[in-house]
Each structure stands twice: as structure tokens, then as C-alpha cells.
Structure 1
């Protein structure tokens, strides 16, 4: 099938084309620039590309083929929507026909997973040079020898995103359709050119395969002690500070988004990072800002006549993105593998001002908060939000989970207990009152808390049990004022705090009801009490 290192015969897939394979970035730049104005080069050397009408993922159009043996393992519902195998095969036929008629074809062969014992081989077939460069960044780039010996892939992504889906196909509701078959070991993309569909498709595959092997796939960032094996894991939804707090010059970055925790330690699934770049500045995020150079892809950004990007301009989308190889981050550890974590950190931005800046969790509480995946949005973050709004995303990444959330929670608890790992809840949100009354916890305090956790200081710090949530509130932390560590004391109006705390506790409990049937008794007992 492979004609040379950089060409490949796609006829075994029904695509009668010799495709360009694993082209070096410079050649992909040339291909992108020649394709009718598809791309331009930014003033910093990144390739600017546009994804067309779709500027974000299309979760409502994602489908998973319902077929044995995987169907008995999958958490079916609004996230994993069942799809007939015949419909997936029809999607593939449509994609293959479109790809077969395309003038230029690109293939990228790469790995998902830095640990060779668990990595999979992924082949991406696409018509867009920027998609090939994007996956060159996001998958792990094979060496010349590995590419020569790549062989047949474990999974194939047919990216025919420029071709609309056929709504007459059963289960296809719009002209966008993203279908994944674990039995056929392939993914088909129609009607969307947003590059993130490929990245998250690979993550979804790993989220199915790793628990099959008893390993925990995680939507998190990870760092390691410089020059040492010991690592730390940071979970958190958008806006909680996951990327910012993992950018620690005193630690090595393992990865910013997707990892697997095994009996050997932690490894990154990806070969790069895919960062939001809205309002990006060198002052606020110097590492990310400087990473957006040659080899990087900037998606859907606005630029001036000198190709200087205006990161504040959201006229195309608020979801502007940058993709870059992880080695663009100066303190990244290559290969992206670390030893067992000493600490697991759940980041939340509590806009209600109820949760403490830092609390220690028992294994059962860790499972409860992991399944809950709580944070809060504040006014101005989305249209229609005028007051704090609770957001729950199971396992801090529900859109990409394949098994029931309790499966991942059980694996988390097993590894926490096996390796004697401390688990922390860190609130980067409000203190002394809810949004509009209290104040946002200063970033320097959140950094001090993470630093104290990583140094082992908080493992021996004094604590007091919260009567409502049950966790142990840390009452002393270097470089953090004592008065903000206990949220009850930080509120001037104590009665208002009690009322707000009960409301948040009730939100947690209502959200957890949908998981309680499959949750063990100790996890249910970790739910907050209404006082």
C-alpha cells in the first residue's frame, strides 16, 4: 500500500488515488497556500486556516455504531447516540466517493499514546492540507523508521468534511454526521471541517479502549516534578484554570488535555496541544503565545493586512483555536510519560462562593466529585446567563466518555487507593460571596495552593470537616490568607452563606440522581447534606 515514505496508495480503501503521506510541515504549508486561498501565514509563522461554517464540534451529530460486542459496554444516551451499522456504511460510501473524486489527498499516520504498550496507530485521510498539519501536531509523530514500519493502522479516520451528509440516511438528522464504529475501527466525518472533531474522535476511541484494559483514560492536564518521576493530575472544565495552573515553570508539562493512568504511571495521548486563543496575550499566557509559530495551526482567527492576529476579534467565532506540537512548550517532557501521581486535583470555578479554596477528599468523595464534574458559569460568558449557573460534566469530560461514568470513577478510586494518592478539590472561583458580591480568588493564591500540594505541604496541613459537604477544609497554606480558606468565615452575611450552600448542595444532589442507580453506597453517602 505504501509506495514511499511520503506517498501511499489508497485503492484498498476504494479511493483510487496516490496520496501524499506524512508530508513535512513546510510542504503542508505550501499545499495549504496553493489551495485557492485556503490558508495564509501569520506574522509569527503559524498557518492560519478556516473551518468554514462549523467553528466548533457538533456533538448532536455524533453517532456510535450499535454493534456487538461494544454495544454492551457503551453508555447509551444523549452523548453516545446509537447508529445503525448500515447507516455508518452508507456514510463511509459517501465519504469514499467524495475522496475518490478529490484532486489532492493527504494522509497522516501517527500514534495515539506515548506509552508503546498502549498506543494505537491512527491513519487520517483528508482533502485539506491544514487538517493533515493539525493531526501532525495532535497525534504523536512517528520517526522515519517507525513510519517505514507503520503497516496497517488500528483506526482510520475518513475526513470528508467538505461533503454534506445525506439526511435520507437513517439516524442522520442534518448535513453534518460524525460516526464512529469500534467494530470497523473507523470514524467517518461528513459536513464539518472543524479540525477538533478528529482530535476528540481519537480521544473517544481511547476512552473506550483503555478501560477495556483496566486503564483510566482522563480529560485532564498533567505535570511532573522536574527531573523526577512523580506526577500530578489536574482535572477541570473550561474556565477553571486547568491550562494556566499546569503551566508551571518549576515543573515539566506532560500534557494539557488527554492522558491515561496505568500501573506504570501517566502518559499523554497526544503529541501536541489545542488551546483556546480568545484574548490570548504574551503577558497572560507566554508559553502558548510563543508556541504559535512555524508548525502551528491557527484556526478561525482574524488578522490584519500584515497578518498580525487580533486575538480579541471574535467576529468569526469565540472558539478561536491554536494547535502546536508539545515540544513548542519549553518545559515539556519528551517523551510525555511520568511516574505515578502523588496528587489528583479537581479544579472548579465556584461562582456561588460556597466551596473552599482547597479541601482534601476521601476516595468516596473523590468518586462523587469526579462523577459530578462541577463548575459554574458566570454572567457574560454565554448569551442569556445573567447570574451564576451550575454546570456538571461527568468525569470532567462527559462529551467524550464512552462507558458509564461510574466505570471511570471505579478505575480512579482503584488507582488512588493502590498508589496512595492524595485527592484535592481546589476552587478557583469566588470567595466571600457569590459572583457580584464576593471577589474572585486571586490567581496567585490558587498558584500557591497548587504549589503547596505539589511540594507535599498540604498533605500534613491542619483541616476541619465541612458539615455539609463532608470534605476536609485545609485551614493553613503558605502564601494564602487564613481568612479566605474557610468559606463560611469569608462571608460577612453568615445566613446568606448557609442559604447559598444549601442551594448548591441541592444542585449536586439533583445532578447525581441520574448516576445513583449504578453508584455504590459509599459514593452515594459522599453526597452533600442539606442543613
Structure 2
């Protein structure tokens, strides 16, 4: 039977449909249906089963003839024949139509009305609907009348794809068609797939409009000075942008147009493993209240959270509306960025805690997207750090070629004179296992200097291995911390480790060296002759 809540989704059903319920209604259904339980503070706790993170290898893009020449095909965007995609969607639509209950949410992506899209989610679980309601922008009630989605998400976490029929790799399939404007998620309960599928859509749509989509957090100071924070998972992007002295625009996804920066989302999706009330009070408080959704977080029988436990995964998450942060920038829009911060958690312990980048270096490090992961943060990692290069700090979500985004960033930085910084939140005084994690107090002191303009005026020295400009002195930060080599007791070991990382940068640069200008090639990290 047709239902306005399912218009444009291709799903037909006689079952009850609960459309645009608030957190209270969704929580009541989720508890009634046994989808999870409440923490002692009222947050809804869900377990995602086998999948506790994104299924990168199971993401496929329909090879529609209208878009095939513009897509960055490969490991990130795997081809799915249009007829396979259509068959998969049809099977999921039929499966959803046979469920005993469905939940829908009508939401926006993009705080700037000039560049936002309308999204309709259809799902079988109340807690997934609440996740989407937290993460995207919630329209006013009057705006829901006659809501026509630009993109539809069919969310079927219990449906199993069939590689023989659907042309996929496993029983999990995240399929997306830019031409048909449909996203179909099956075989995984990890809610991050919902969020990131729409981020991929925004990364597709906005460059054609002259807007740079970015995997970054953003905040704004008292003088309307906007700062962007790029970084992969575990680098401190959410933590450092949630600054009590600055208003949060958003913690993960933004667009940069000629009128300024705007948040794609209406919520935050924070990693909470080992979350500290003292070091991260805003995120801690937001995660300990009704309306938050906690994924794979451990609690005792009374619901008291154990945020240090990785029983289910290191990738424990808290999802909450952005207004749970006390000092948000209302409206999710602000002006042109004055500072751009690129974060890396260097587990080799050889990069400086902060360095000032030239425009050419900025594009190089943006395309490099470096961090280093260690055992405990991902399955299958050994004792040695593992370098990770994710172009534009978000390769899994880039449907277009990386050079498209890199060129746009370089042009915007040059046009508006933004200062770019590389900040290492990783290790100091030695690699992981020998050195110590960079003090968050030191990192915050360095960022304060960068954002208030004082750091740009100090004297800098050039690092011999990476060609980075390092400040010689910063109030509140020991000199030996500023120069990473001085923090190592064994200087020869530092030199050897630095050379090893340089060679990794060189190898990674080969993948995009042919698509950049001579200035970026000259700024690339390279071994001494």
C-alpha cells in the first residue's frame, strides 16, 4: 500500500510505519523491541554484532553510464553493474515491505540552505532511526509537509546480500547509485554506514557547485575566526575542536564555499574509548544523558559505563545532537577559515608537535593524509606502528579523483590567505612502546598560539628530514618537545626512524605525483641526496 512516509522509496507495506518520531518515541520502541538498553544516565546503548566499524571492502557504486567517467574507480569505489544494483535494491525493497514495523526519518544534510539535500531513511530499527535523527539536521515540523527526498537510504541491517546474485563480495553490501539517488545498506548494523553514505553523496555533489566538501571538524573564536581540523580516526579531531573557549560548528563533515564554512550534520559521532571527564568534559557530558546513542560501549548491570573497556571493539562511539555541546555555533554556518589544522597521530614519534606549512606543503600533506596506527586500535596490527595514508584525510568517502579536492583546497587557501598547520598528536621521545603520547595540554597550548596568531610571529627552524617549519619557542611547551629529535634519548635511533618514515612518504607520493604542479613536487618530503 502506498504511504506518504514511503514516497519515493519503492517500498510498499501494510505494516505500521513510524515517521519522524522524536528521541523519546524512538527510545520507547527500541526498548520495547529489545534493540538495546539504557545507561545509568539514560543514553541508549546498542551492540552492532559482527560489524563494529565500516565495511570498506563491501562498498560498491553503481556504474551508471551518466557518471562513470567522473568516478574514481578502484578499491574505494568498486563497480557494481547497474542491473546488479537494481536487482539488489528490488530485493531489499521487497524485504523491507515484509517487516512487521518500519521507521522513517526525513532529514537534511547541509546547514547552508543553498547547498543542502533532503534525505529520507527507511529502517527496521528504532535505534538506527534515532542515530540518523541525531546525526543529520532535523527540519522544523512545518518543513516536513510535502517533504520530497533528494536521496533515499534503504537500511536493512538484517538482510543478507548474495554475492552470486548481487555481484558483491559477502553478505554485507553498501550500494550507492548517484544517478538513481538511492543508497542501500544491508548486512551490517554499524550505524556509521548511514552517516558516511551521505558524506559520500555530498563529496559527489558539491565540487560541481564550486564547494569543497571536507572530512574535518570546525570551530569559531570570539572574533569570528574560523578554524578547520582535518584528521583520521584517533588523531583528536573531535576532541580538539570541542574547545570550551571556541564555539563548535561541527565535528566531522563540512563544506567550504565562497561565503564560508557550513556543517553537513546536526550531530556528533565521537570515539569514546578511554574518554576522560577531565580532558574531554563536553564529550563526556554529552555521552552521559538521555538522547545520546552509544555503540558497543560496555556497562555494568546498573548501566554504569566503562569507557576504558574494549570488550566489543576499540571503536566505541557516542552519537548525540550537536546542541548537547554547550558552546555550539548556532546554525552550523560561519565565515571563511583563517586557520587550517591537519592532525596526525605519528606513532613513530618523529614528527614535530606543530609546524607551519606553505601553501604547496599544505596541498602535499592534504593529499598525503598521513597518520600511523598501532596495535589495539585495529585488528591485525602487530607491535610496530603502521603508516596510513588516506588522501584528503578521507579517501573512503571520495567518489571523485583526489586531485579534484586537493586543487580546490589549494585554491581556497591561496584565495583567502588561510594559514595551514600540521599538528602531531601522536608520540614524543620515541616511537610507540618507547615514547609517550603527546600531552593534550601541550597540544592545546600550541593550538591556542596558532589560532590567536601569536605562533605565526615566533622564530622558526627548518626540520632537516621533513622540511617542516618548527617554532623555536612556545609559552607553556618545553623546547625539547617542540623539536622531536631533542626529545629522543637515542638520537641515532631518531634519525633512523625519521628516514624510514620519509621513505614511506616518498612511496605514497608516487600515487599522485603526476597530477600535481611543480610547486607541490618541490614541497614533497624526500630523502636527502
TM-score, scaled relative to structure 1: 0.94
Q: Which moved more, 1:50-59 or 1:395-404?
A: 50-59
After superposition, the Cα gap between the structure-2 partners of 1:351 and 1:318, relative to the gap in structure 1 and judged at 3 Å, is: closer
Pair 1:455-2:452 in alignment? yes
CA distance in 1, matches of 2:181, 2:447: 40
Deviations along 1:130-176, one digit per CA (max 9) or x if unpaired, are 111110101100001211252x1100001112111122225212111
Question: Following superposition of structure 1 onto structure 2, how do residues 194-213 of structure 1 map, counting pairs within 5 Å?
Answer: 194-213=190-209
CA distance in 1, matches of 2:37, 2:509: 47
Partner residue of 2:272? 277
CA distance in 2, matches of 1:59, 1:380: 19
Pair 1:262-2:257 in alignment? yes
CA distance in 1, matches of 2:227, 2:117: 24
Unmatched segments (≥5 aa) in structure 2 = none
Q: Which moved more, 1:60-69 or 1:482-491?
A: 482-491
Deviations along 1:77-126, one digit per CA (max 9) or x if unpaired, are 10110111111111111111111111111110000010111000000011
CA distance in 2, matches of 1:402, 1:505: 29
Deviations along 1:345-375, one digit per CA (max 9) or x if unpaired, are 1111222222222111111111111111111
> Is the 2:9–2:152 contact (alpha carbons within 8 Å) kept by the matching residues of 1?
no
> Is the 1:56–1:319 contact (alpha carbons within 8 Å) kept by the matching residues of 2?
yes
Partner residue of 1:23? 21
Deviations along 1:315-357, one digit per CA (max 9) or x if unpaired, are 3333222111000011111111111111001111222222222
What secondary structure does 2:258 align onto? Answer: coil
Pair 1:243-2:238 in alignment? yes
CA distance in 2, matches of 1:408, 1:234: 16
> Is the 2:85–2:166 contact (alpha carbons within 8 Å) kept by the matching residues of 1?
no
CA distance in 2, matches of 1:241, 1:471: 21
What secondary structure does 2:422 align onto? Answer: strand
- How far is the alpha carbon of 1:459 from its aligned partner? 1.8
Q: Which moved more, 1:390-399 or 1:438-447?
A: 438-447
Question: Following superposition of structure 1 onto structure 2, how do residues 464-475 of structure 1 map, counting pairs within 5 Å?
Answer: 464-475=461-472
CA distance in 2, matches of 1:420, 1:9: 47
- How far is the alpha carbon of 1:512 from its aligned partner? 1.4
Question: Following superposition of structure 1 onto structure 2, how do residues 416-495 of structure 1 map, counting pairs within 5 Å?
Answer: 416-495=413-492
After superposition, the Cα gap between the structure-2 partners of 1:23 and 1:345, relative to the gap in structure 1 and judged at 3 Å, is: same
Partner residue of 1:233? 228
- How far is the alpha carbon of 1:409 from its aligned partner? 0.8
Pair 1:508-2:501 in alignment? no
After superposition, the Cα gap between the structure-2 partners of 1:131 and 1:78, relative to the gap in structure 1 and judged at 3 Å, is: same
Deviations along 1:406-438, one digit per CA (max 9) or x if unpaired, are 111111101000110000111122333333444
- How far is the alpha carbon of 1:493 from its aligned partner? 3.8
Question: Following superposition of structure 1 onto structure 2, how do residues 400-419 of structure 1 map, counting pairs within 5 Å?
Answer: 400-419=397-416
- How far is the alpha carbon of 1:291 from its aligned partner? 0.9
What secondary structure does 1:8 align onto? Answer: helix
> Is the 1:463–1:472 contact (alpha carbons within 8 Å) kept by the matching residues of 2?
yes
Partner residue of 2:123? 126
CA distance in 1, matches of 2:68, 2:270: 33
Alpha carbon RMSD of aligned pairs, Å? 1.9
CA distance in 2, matches of 1:330, 1:2: 42
CA distance in 2, matches of 1:61, 1:339: 37
What secondary structure does 1:94 align onto? Answer: helix
Partner residue of 1:191? 187
- How far is the alpha carbon of 1:70 from its aligned partner? 1.9
> Is the 1:63–1:83 contact (alpha carbons within 8 Å) kept by the matching residues of 2?
yes
Pair 1:93-2:90 in alignment? yes
> Is the 1:380–1:386 contact (alpha carbons within 8 Å) kept by the matching residues of 2?
no
- How far is the alpha carbon of 1:467 from its aligned partner? 3.5
Partner residue of 1:325? 321
After superposition, the Cα gap between the structure-2 partners of 1:503 and 1:54, relative to the gap in structure 1 and judged at 3 Å, is: closer
Partner residue of 1:156? 152
After superposition, the Cα gap between the structure-2 partners of 1:231 and 1:34, relative to the gap in structure 1 and judged at 3 Å, is: same
Q: Which moved more, 1:430-439 or 1:467-476?
A: 430-439
After superposition, the Cα gap between the structure-2 partners of 1:349 and 1:315, relative to the gap in structure 1 and judged at 3 Å, is: closer
Question: Following superposition of structure 1 onto structure 2, how do residues 59-138 of structure 1 map, counting pairs within 5 Å?
Answer: 59-138=56-135
Q: Which moved more, 1:501-510 or 1:111-120?
A: 501-510
CA distance in 2, matches of 1:173, 1:364: 39
Aligned length in residues: 525
Deviations along 1:170-207, one digit per CA (max 9) or x if unpaired, are 52121111100000001011111221111010111111
What secondary structure does 1:345 align onto? Answer: strand
CA distance in 1, matches of 2:141, 2:2: 14
- How far is the alpha carbon of 1:492 from its aligned partner? 4.2
Q: Which moved more, 1:281-290 or 1:177-186?
A: 281-290
CA distance in 2, matches of 1:468, 1:56: 35
> Is the 1:29–1:47 contact (alpha carbons within 8 Å) kept by the matching residues of 2?
yes
After superposition, the Cα gap between the structure-2 partners of 1:20 and 1:76, relative to the gap in structure 1 and judged at 3 Å, is: same
Unmatched segments (≥5 aa) in structure 1 = none
Partner residue of 2:51? 54
> Is the 1:220–1:259 contact (alpha carbons within 8 Å) kept by the matching residues of 2?
yes
> Is the 2:349–2:432 contact (alpha carbons within 8 Å) kept by the matching residues of 1?
yes
After superposition, the Cα gap between the structure-2 partners of 1:264 and 1:143, relative to the gap in structure 1 and judged at 3 Å, is: same
What secondary structure does 1:116 align onto? Answer: coil
